[in-house]
Amino acid sequence: MDVTFENKYRKPCLVNIYSFIFAPSTIMAKPRDEQKIERIHAATLKLVQQQGFGGLKMAEVAKEAQVATGTLYVYFKDKVELINALYLHLKRKQAKHYLKPEDLDRPFKMSFRLVWENFLLVSLDYPEESAFIEQYYRSPFLRPEVRNEADLLLQAAHDVLLRGQAEELIKPLDTSLLLAHLSGSILELVKWHYAGIIELDRTNLDAPFSLAWDSVKR
């Protein structure tokens, strides 16, 4: 059966994608002291783990980051901007690991596995960051324009899926639906791993990958 896609498969332009990943955030155009910003990010992540988004206070972030409260407000006008900036920072950090230029020259199933595996390993290696991102999606602090900017970081993954559809190797479904399904199952695997129910590492990913592949292949 012929399937017509709104977006024809194209090889991802990784130069443009990586330029976007490494570009400065649109949230914060003020002069930056990178060491202070790094401490503020780390402090915010730690306090959100302890108190949740609702309990986060700017004064406590400043104290934990060892910066003056006034300095914190130089970079972030309020808690909402701080949370959204940290979310986008973490998404950019993770996106650097998802896909490398050489991955695109491999047969589709191998490229697909590399994207899937990199996503899983990032979630395993940075569980606190992944938990923050998941919590952000359910919070009232979510700003659509920030989420849209973060979604652009996944364009390469969308393009890989479009390639698989063009080669008639995976289901002709909306790529956002496919990514939601795949990322959701990965996050559940990570939760079960840290709960001690299953054990995952770089040497035993064949079985979970087989489940992921079987769920999307034609």
- Tell me how many domains the chain contains: 2
pTM tops 0.85: no
CATH number at residue 60: 1.10.10.60
Range of the domain at 54: 29-75
Same domain, 62 and 157: no
Same domain, 47 and 92: no
Same domain, 119 and 166: yes
Average pLDDT over residues 183-201: 93
Q: Is 207 among the domain residues?
A: yes
CATH number at residue 172: 1.10.357.10
Distance from C-alpha of 115 to C-alpha of 20, rounded to nearest angstrom: 18
Same domain, 123 and 59: no
Q: Is 2 among the domain residues?
A: no
Query: Across the chain, what does the average pLDDT equal?
Result: 85
Res. 182 pLDDT band, cuts 50 70 90: very high
Res. 198 pLDDT band, cuts 50 70 90: very high
pLDDT at 101: 72
Residues forming a β-bridge with 217 = 170
Q: Give the tens place of pLDDT for each residue, 9-24.
A: 444 444 444 444 445 5
Distance from C-alpha of 79 to C-alpha of 76, rounded to nearest angstrom: 7
Same domain, 50 and 130: no
Tokens at 14, concatenated: 């990784």
Same domain, 106 and 52: no
Same domain, 127 and 58: no
Q: Is 122 among the domain residues?
A: yes
Same domain, 107 and 48: no
Tokens at 61, concatenated: 């972030």
Q: Is 6 among the domain residues?
A: no
**Cβ proximity of 32 and 1 under 8 Å:** no
**Cβ proximity of 182 and 190 under 8 Å:** no
Percentage of the residues of the chain whose pLDDT score is greater than 90:
61
Q: Is 1 among the domain residues?
A: no
Helix (H) or strand (E) holding 5: none
Q: Give the tens place of pLDDT for each residue, 43-77.
A: 999 999 999 998 999 999 999 999 999 999 999 99
pLDDT at 57: 95
Average pLDDT over residues 147-175: 91
Q: Is 170 helix (H, G, I), strand (E, B) or coil?
A: strand
